[in-house]
Structure 1
Amino acid sequence: MSDTRIETQLDALKEAVAMALDYASQLGCQAAEVAISKQQGLSVSTRLQEIETVEFNKDGALGISLYRDGCKGSSSTSDLSPQAIREAVKAADNIAKFTSADPFSGLADASLMARHFPDLDLYHPQDITPATLAEMACSAEAAAMDVDSRIKNSDGASANAHTGIKVYGNSHGFLNGYASSRYSLSCVMIGEDAQGDMQRDYDYSVSRQFNQLLDPAIVGRQAAQKTVGRLGARKIATGQLPVLLAPEIATGLMGHLIGAISGGSLYRKSSFLLDSLDTKIFPDWFSIAEEPHMLSGLASAPYDSEGVATRDRAIVQDGVLATYLLTSYSARKMGMTNTGHAGGIYNWTLTDTGHTFDELIAQMGTGLIVTEVMGQGVNMVNGDYSRGAAGFYVENGVIQYPVEEITIAGNLKDMFQDIQAISSDRDLRSSIRTGGILLGNMKIAGN
């Protein structure tokens, strides 16, 4: 999509938002906020190098929330005609008249609104045809099938291209929007050995820019190599061992931190990190930096979904929890300041200890590499952690064989404190940028 066309669409969406806000004001509402998004995308999936599905999506909706004497009403519409917008605003106003007052609801404070809107390099349009995406997916599968004779089947490959526009406005006078793009490629392979053991694994690539995706052949080969590496998996004896979380699993561990320090969990008193602000919850060397304005970042944004300006901040500094993640509502409930986290986090980067992942394997000596976790056995109230796992058993710093059908268990508070090292080869494919995390000790349930 050309720059001229995207600017035209942005202007049209801003007009729709301004129209909704103006009508809410005419109805006598004390405050209102309107968000609108439009997305379009193309996805092609293949299996055994034959096209299975081609999907084109184009959708969007306008959502409005307005407030009367602490009462909130919300509605939405996908029809952006003036009449439909007026009807949506009127519906939200009618709903507000019948809801209970909540003294903590309302817009974020006007003083927190974003005033500067840097270009974060999030939008990279590319003219892409279904044939191009199909060729990418087929190429990934073809490369995977050539890796090893034990790769017997494919569970499919998928190539995707998506662009979108977001516009937000409220009765503080805030009105802004921006466009973004995201491209991805994934491949899932199935392997079988001579004993009939079957395994599957995958690999993927994602980027704001189409030309920065990994070559499809690399994605396919890595998917196949990971699949073959899992063949012949077995259980290990029950006991306690050091555990090295692969980077993609380490992001999940930090995801539990997000849930524990989010305002919604805290004001409901359903977090194991309740009253932990400014206390040491990680080792002294451990820090997490948040960078919302990282150019082309997968989780970059100039402001949150309430219009609050985002900024660089330390989430954890030298092991100490430096901030909670608060929206306007949770901040008021807790008597604290909004941190601009309505809608999520922004590009977390964990410190590392200067080791590669292979060096951490050697440092671990005898232990377990975890490459997959399963199940939902995490209690966010007390931090108890118990999940099914698969990976590799390590002895004397050398991988011995793949492992499956085991459970790893501990408590998240103890696990956070017990982080021994983090590798420097980070996985950059998510909003949490981290290498592998080495934990000193976990309970393993196996044979």
Structure 2
Amino acid sequence: MQSRPTSDLNDRAQATTSRGGAGGAGSGFALSQQRFRELVEQALAGARKLGASDASVEVSEGVGLSVSVRKGELENVERNRDKSLSISLYLGQRRGNANTSDFSAEAIEQTVRAAYDIARFTAEDPAAGLPDEEDLAKGDELARDLDLFHPWDIDAEGAAELARRCEDAAMSTDRRITNSEGAGVSAQQSHFFSGNSRGFRGGYAASRHSISVAPIASISGRRGNDMQRDAWYSSMRSAADMASPEAVGRYAAERALARLGSRKIKTCEVPVLFESTLAAGLLGAYVQATSGGSLYRKSSFLLDSLGKQVMPEHIDIVEEPHLPRGKGSAPFDDEGVRTCRRTVVDAGVVQGYFLSSYSARKLGMKTTGNAGGSQNLSLRSRLTRPEDSLEQMLKKLDRGLFVIELMGQGVNYVTGDYSRGAAGFWVENGRITHPVHEITIAGNLRQMLRHIVAIGADEYTTGAKTVGSVLLQPMKVAGFS
């Protein structure tokens, strides 16, 4: 396996970046933040007029371009432009919600009335309501610049050219790259403004851009065709930070080529090393199990885990919502609650859950500012050294399975039972010997989290989660008898 591609500064000329307000040059937005503020105030005033005890309103707009090519030919060009106004209105502990994409005064009035009518006929819920005023972001917390907005001034022709360069690089890597499922480029940007009857007002713009490709490698032989597919992508807030199309294409091709000659293996129980891109899924499973909705519904394998040891002592999980250009960065959550850096797991012990105001009330706790999900999580080991590359992690694995792909949805978050189809490489004496496919790995998430042996320094950010490759104690690997 070759090292992953990193950002390529040569592509900076293709990106138009801005840290200014929404609606500026290159943003593509039709509406300004000031107009959004006016719409929020209009809807809140309508709610007060109807007698609502509380209300919250959010107005948003998104624009984007997605282009795909396959074998050099243009396949799809999609443009999206959408807008929405959503209002949640409270009559005591009864809540109604309605939304509209029509921003006319009459439509907003009708939407507020619809939310009011829904609330009138909704059963009371003791946990319903806006966040407490003391938890809402204020002042400098609202003005925090996290450098999230970098509109990409690219047209369909330019995006198609980048996609072709990416696919061409993959196809020209080796003659065994014989086909492609295509390459794509996406440029997306959005902005919003929200407010509530307890004084919160805030909003900002954000962008997310990507380039991806999925090449197919094959070898014809006496026993038929050995055909393997893999893919790679680069996704960033700023297009200037993405890896070059050629680097993405070559790396995707190398991954597909490495899987040629895959074999089945006998059923066994061996240590398993998760590639960093997959290890983020383990972190995601932990987040789901310790999120408010799962906890108050009692549908989690980590019920009542606060203050308890659920991972080895060398493991920490840190949440950092204020990282510049972070994919999960936010000055406040979806309810306007301030966000802050915190250690979620300290030396393997759970220090906090992921709670919105509603789920916190259901559990008799305080919101953690996680309405909308977690923000920039990192899974770390105190034993990790800077030299713990993937090569070193394979040496720590010694003999076992290195997993690079998981298939299926065989995870039970109530019991923690885990069973997934997998593909990867067999490792002997710390070295990859051959690719492996058509296997299943099985275990229990509670035990898997407890049995994390090591985490590599080969960190990779998938979505809003950052983690290196993760080595687990023996798991059941089902192959053939």
TM exceeds 0.5? yes
- CA deviation vs aligned residue, 1:26-84 (integer Å, no higher than 9, x gap): 11100101112210001110001111011111001111110112111111000111111
Q: Which amino acid aligns with 1:6?
A: G
Whether contact under 8 Å (1:368, 1:393) holds in the other structure is yes
How far is 1:5 from its partner? 6.0
| Distance (whole Å) between structure 1 residues aligned to residue 276 and residue 425 of structure 2 | 14
Paired position in structure 2 for 1:356: 389
**Normalized against structure 1, the TM-score is what?**
0.98
| Distance (whole Å) between structure 2 residues aligned to residue 167 and residue 402 of structure 1 | 50
How far is 1:201 from its partner? 0.4
Paired position in structure 2 for 1:370: 403
Q: Secondary structure at the match of 1:351?
A: strand
Q: Which amino acid aligns with 1:420?
A: V
Whether contact under 8 Å (1:204, 1:219) holds in the other structure is yes
How far is 1:168 from its partner? 1.4
Paired position in structure 1 for 2:182: 156
Which stretch of the first structure deviates more once superposed, 426-435 or 307-316? 426-435
| Distance (whole Å) between structure 2 residues aligned to residue 5 and residue 72 of structure 1 | 31
Paired position in structure 2 for 1:244: 273
Q: In the alignment, is residue 332 of structure 1 matched against residue 332 of structure 2?
A: no
Q: Which amino acid aligns with 1:86?
A: E
Whether contact under 8 Å (2:406, 2:421) holds in the other structure is yes
Paired position in structure 2 for 1:16: 39
Paired position in structure 2 for 1:138: 164
Q: Of residues 9, 13, 23 in structure 2, which corresponds to 1:6? A: 23
Q: Secondary structure at the match of 2:266?
A: coil
Whether contact under 8 Å (2:22, 2:191) holds in the other structure is no
| Distance (whole Å) between structure 2 residues aligned to residue 66 and residue 335 of structure 1 | 23
Paired position in structure 1 for 2:194: 168
Paired position in structure 1 for 2:145: 119
Paired position in structure 2 for 1:69: 92
Q: Which amino acid aligns with 2:449?
A: F
Whether contact under 8 Å (2:63, 2:188) holds in the other structure is yes
Q: In the alignment, is residue 107 of structure 1 matched against residue 130 of structure 2?
A: yes
How far is 1:404 from its partner? 0.7
| Distance (whole Å) between structure 2 residues aligned to residue 72 and residue 138 of structure 1 | 50
Q: In the alignment, is residue 49 of structure 1 matched against residue 75 of structure 2?
A: no
Structure 2 unaligned runs (5+)? Answer: 1-15, 25-30
| Distance (whole Å) between structure 2 residues aligned to residue 217 and residue 48 of structure 1 | 15
Identify if the C-alpha distance between structure 1 residues 5 and 316 changes in structure 2 by more than 3 Å, giving closer, same or farther: closer
Q: In the alignment, is residue 390 of structure 1 matched against residue 413 of structure 2?
A: no
Whether contact under 8 Å (2:452, 2:473) holds in the other structure is yes
How far is 1:4 from its partner? 6.4
- CA deviation vs aligned residue, 1:134-184 (integer Å, no higher than 9, x gap): 111000110111111111101000001111002111110111110011110
How far is 1:121 from its partner? 0.3
Which stretch of the first structure deviates more once superposed, 287-296 or 343-352? 343-352
Q: Secondary structure at the match of 2:23?
A: helix
Q: Of residues 214, 224, 248 in structure 1, which corresponds to 2:243? A: 214
Q: Of residues 269, 284, 287 in structure 1, which corresponds to 2:316? A: 287
Q: Which amino acid aligns with 2:77?
A: V
- Percent of residue pairs bearing the same amino acid type: 48
Whether contact under 8 Å (2:22, 2:205) holds in the other structure is no
Q: Of residues 83, 94, 97 in structure 2, which corresponds to 1:60? A: 83
Q: In the alignment, is residue 265 of structure 1 matched against residue 294 of structure 2?
A: yes
How far is 1:126 from its partner? 2.7
| Distance (whole Å) between structure 2 residues aligned to residue 257 and residue 102 of structure 1 | 28
Whether contact under 8 Å (1:205, 1:429) holds in the other structure is no
Q: In the alignment, is residue 343 of structure 1 matched against residue 377 of structure 2?
A: no
Q: Which amino acid aligns with 2:261?
A: G
How far is 1:194 from its partner? 2.4
| Distance (whole Å) between structure 1 residues aligned to residue 40 and residue 179 of structure 2 | 50
Paired position in structure 2 for 1:437: 470
- CA deviation vs aligned residue, 1:185-224 (integer Å, no higher than 9, x gap): 0000111112301111000001111111100000000111
Structure 1 unaligned runs (5+)? Answer: none
- CA deviation vs aligned residue, 1:339-397 (integer Å, no higher than 9, x gap): 01100110011224121111010111111000011111111111111111000000111
Q: Which amino acid aligns with 1:315?
A: V
Q: Which amino acid aligns with 2:42?
A: M
Paired position in structure 2 for 1:36: 59
Q: Of residues 222, 230, 237 in structure 2, which corresponds to 1:201? A: 230
Paired position in structure 2 for 1:297: 326
Whether contact under 8 Å (1:14, 1:177) holds in the other structure is no
